[in-house]
Structures are given as structure tokens and as C-alpha cells.
Amino acid sequence: MSKTKVAIVGPGNIGTDLMIKIMKNSTNLEVCAMVGIDPNSDGLARAKRMGCLTTAEGLAGLEIMPEWHDIKIIFDATSAKAHHHNWAIVEKYSDKKIVDLTPAAIGPFLVPTVNFTENLKVRNVNMVTCGGQATIPMVAAVNRIAKVHYGEIVASISSKSAGPGTRANIDEFTETTALAIEKVGGADKGKAIIILNPAEPPVVMRDTIFTLSEQADKEAIRKSIHDMVAEVQKYVPGYTLHQEVQFDDITEAAPVFIEGLGYRHGLKTTVLLQVVGAGHYLPEYAGNLDIMTSAALATGERLIELI
């Protein structure tokens, strides 16, 4: 069976890791081209050595090449600003889809284990953020048992795994993740915090998720969370619970105040995760980048079934 040809835009850490993941792990996708804007890019040089077509003329440069017509999926690993330009090119071709790994969020948010089937006919899907990919499945796991009023996530990553793109998009990270906690995770109100940890040696990605939901069977919530972890592990093996799920009862007599919602009571659930990268190209501590490329690959594998 022939593989579906894909292109990657952005030869940085994320784009290069995604390229190697597809080459090593995918039985259905083939990296046809790597696109950048710097002719001296290490990522473009590596892609060329690995047999990929390359261009330093951006997506417009690939568009005029004959290989463009065979490419069905474009993975955008550039920036929120650049994605608007890239989508303007891809949008003209009805036979192509784009998987957006930037915080641009032109298309709907997509977390593979939570809402893939809701976006079957969409041609531009957004992978939220690394923090969103790690934590939204946990909010959704609680929400499918008990209505979540509030979801708050704290994503702690190694400073060394936060490149210039991540640092330039910190505001977009928090805003996009918080919105996706609501739209995908199902919370009435979402909040996201990111911490860049300068510790040496570098620490792996750690995520803390707090939800305040209606009261429900705690064991049912615990099982839902464990089941969701197992689903994410199918494409991110290093995704694990760092500690067992914790519960606290917030009584009606002592409610908590949530901005935008007022005073609420119910069940507080705390989930503590860690994400260790697969080490394909990036170091294992860069689980924040690994979960993005792994989720993008999982999305691409399923999208080809619809092409």
C-alpha cells in the first residue's frame, strides 16, 4: 500500500522531531518535503540528508513544485503569525488538510483522544499547545463522569525545551490552552499557567490539573482518568500519572470563589502527570515538545482515512 505524502513547514526542533517520528513510526505517512525560510537551516540540511525535498522559499516555494500536487497533509510547525499565511495557501486546495502545531487556532482545537470524531470534515485542525495536549484529556476524563465547573492547569517544562517560538507565544499559550480547556475539556471556565524551570539537570515535563466538578462517584472518576491515560499512552508512551488521583470535598458551607463563576462547591480533583519524551530527536526531558509531535502524528494517521 502506498503511503500518503505529507509536508512539514518549519524545520526547527518540533518540525525535525516530527519528521523523524514519521520516518521511524508511521506505516501510512511519508515525508515528501521540509519547508523553511533560512537556506542555512540545520533542519533543512538534515531533511535533505534524509532524502526529503527541501525549499527555503516558504510554503509558496513548495506550491510551485510538481511534488505539491501529491501532498495531502501539511504539518505547520512555524508560528502563530506564519500559520495565517500558510493556511491562505493551503485553503485554496480542496484535496489538502493542514495540521496546525502553532497557537494560531484558525481551525478548531483537536485533542486526539477527546474530540477527533467531531472534526472529521475540517481541513484545518489546531493541536492547541503542549500543555493542552497533556492536560485537556484529564479535564475531559472528569467531565464525562461529572460536570466540570472549573479547570485549571499548571504546565512546568524545562527552560531548555522552550525555544524562541514557545517564548514568543507565551500569551497565546495561556489564552489558547484556557479556551481549549473549556471548548474541548468541557469546563465552564478554564485557566492555564506555564512555568519555565531553569533547573539543571533539566527536568521532565510535569503537569498539575485541578478540576472543580459536581459531586460524583470518586472511583468512577478515578477509573475514567486511568482509562484516558491509557488512551494517550497509545501515542505518547512516556505519559504517566506521577501520583495517584487526589480528591477534596468543597462543601456548600465553605465554597470557593472562581472569577467569572462566583462561589461554587462540589468535588475538587487533582491529577499530577509527567511526560517523558521518546528521545527520537529531542532529549527525553523535552516531553512538552514530544507530546505535540506525537499528537500531530496520531492526528495525521487518522486524517488519511478521510482523504
Catalytic residues: 130
- 237: helix, strand or coil: coil
Q: Are 60 and 88 in contact (CB under 8 A)?
A: no
E strands, 101-184, are 124-126, 148-158
**CB-facing half-sphere around the CA of 213: CA atoms within 13 A:** 25
| Residue 269: DSSP 8-state | E
Amino acid at 71: I
Cα distance between residue 240 and residue 111, in whole Å = 17
Find, among 291, 275, 279, 271, the residue nearest to 240 by Cα. Answer: 275
Q: What is the largest CA-CA distance in the chain?
A: 68
* List of long-range contacts for 27-31, beta carbons under 8 Å, 24+ apart: 27/3, 28/1, 28/3, 28/4, 28/301, 28/304, 29/3, 29/4, 29/73, 29/297, 29/300, 29/301, 29/304, 30/3, 30/4, 30/5, 30/6, 31/6, 31/7
E strand or H helix that includes residue 59: helix 58-63
